[in-house]
Amino acid sequence: MADKGSWALAITVCAAGFLSVRADSITETPAGQLFVYELHREVFQSEFEPFHKVFGHIYNDPMVFKCNKERFPDLPRWLRFTQRDPYENGFLYGTPLPQDQGRNIIEIFVINKRSYDTFKERLVINVGPAVKQMPYQAEFFIELREIEKVLPAAVQEEIRLDIQNLWGTGRLDFINISSALDRGGRVPLPLPGHFEGVYVKLGSDRPFSKCMLRLDSAEHRSECASGGKISGDCSTCSNPSNCISWCRSALLDLSKPVPPAPAPTAGPGVLPWAGEFSPPESPPDRDFFPGYIVTIIVPLALVLIFCLVLTYIMCCRREGVLRRNAKTLDLQLYHHHTIQGNASELRRMAGGERSTVDRPRQCLQPLLMAEQAMAQS
């Protein structure tokens, strides 16, 4: 009975442990269509202390996000990240191409800019094969928008409805949304009423409306180039921020097959006759002897001369002990030897074996005797 109880406890603990581990978020997206994932700040707020609302106060910490592909320093090529400032949500967005199919594991690091706590989450994006054929595509420029303001689903839907009026079909999907800054646009002045501008690209399997086809006419192009009055603008916008610039819209018709490039023309496969082959003349002989003399013989001779001079100085010009003694007076030599002897005698006496040393001698006596002997001779 007790055994059963402890098993139940263990299983409960294990289950609780598994449930408390936050699972990866998993999303699916088909290739060729816009993917948008919003990083909601209020969701991550619950990961940072204080975990609970204290006295009804809801925290609103500034947060920044760092996103990268797992084990890579950067995001996959097709995915981009944007966040306007730490008090706004972040967005991961982009359009995967058919060659980007597969699993993308994205690591998201959330940094709380109040407490500097961090939190890590994993997002798995499974890119599947394209589900829709969209041979008719059109790109529009929205002048009065910024990329972060267009990515929320509600705004995308507003824009889609406007384009639906223009195109005359509801079978529309977003293919791409990109900031004009990513396409060489200029950074706007930080004043109200100045915007970066956003390009949106939509696709459909329904042909363009008659009005849209005017975008492809020569008349439309010359009108836009002259910058005069624009006729034939049939776009509508329920929200003035979403109005498109008629002159910066473009159609992309992929329904007609692209004519293949002309095949290269094959030649006969034989090179034309260019005459007998004559090998080039071999270069004239060169005389290396003067170079040999200058670089080898002259330095060697100099080294030899220096050696001889040094040998002569060292061996023949030295004074030598015998010659020096022969030049010195006998008295001087004797004097020198007695100084040496006395010094060594004093040294011996300073040592321990004083009793073994002979008694000190009169040191002047032998000198006088020697002087007398020399005077007599």
Ligand X SMILES: *[C@@H]1O[C@H](CO)[C@@H](O)[C@H](O)[C@H]1NC(C)=O
Q: Which residues in this chain contact ligand X in the complex, by CB under 6 A?
A: 95, 97, 176, 178, 182-183
Residue (of 154, 166, 182) closest to 246 by Cα position: 166
The crossing angle, in degrees rounded to 10, of helices 364-376 and 330-350 is 160
Note the maximum CA span of the chain. 151
Beta carbon nearer to ligand X, 63 or 138: 138
DSSP state of 354: T
Q: 3-state SS of 220-271?
A: HHHHHHHCCCCCCCCCCCCCHHHCEEEEEEEEEECCCCCCCCCCCCCCCCCC
- Measured from the CB of residue 227, what is the shortest distance to ligand X in angstroms? 25
Least gap, CB of 183 to ligand X (angstroms): 5
Residue number, 120 or 183, with CB nearest to ligand X: 183
Rounded to an integer, what distance in angstroms lies between the CA atom of residue 268 and that of residue 265? 10
Select 155 or 211, whichever has its Cβ closest to ligand X.
155
Among residues 250, 243, 242, which one has the least CA distance to residue 202? 250
Tell me the backbone φ, ψ of residue 193, rounded to 5 degrees.
Answer: 90, 0
Q: How far is the CB of 202 from ligand X (least distance, A)?
A: 12
Q: If you search the block for the tokens 């084990």, which residue do you land on?
A: 71
* Ordered DSSP codes for 154-209: HHHHHHHHHHHHHHT-S--EEEEEEEGGGGTPPPPPSSTT----EEEEEEESSPPP
> Between residues 78 and 334, which has the closer beta carbon with respect to ligand X?
78
Least distance in angstroms from the C-beta of 37 to ligand X = 16
Paired tokens of 374: 């020399």
Residue 44 or 199 with smaller CB distance to ligand X = 199
Closest CA to 82 of 188, 194, 182: 182
- Minimum CB distance to ligand X, residue 251 (Å): 15
Smallest gap from residue 169 Cβ to ligand X (A):
21
In the complex, least distance from residue 80 CB atom to ligand X, rounded to whole angstroms: 8
The residue among 105 and 130 lying less far from ligand X, judged by its C-beta, is 130
| Nearest to ligand X of 44, 141 (CB atom) | 141
Beta carbon of residue 201, minimum distance to ligand X (angstroms, whole number): 6
Nearest Cα neighbor of 141 from 242, 60, 239, 233 is: 242
**Of 89 and 178, CB closest to ligand X:** 178
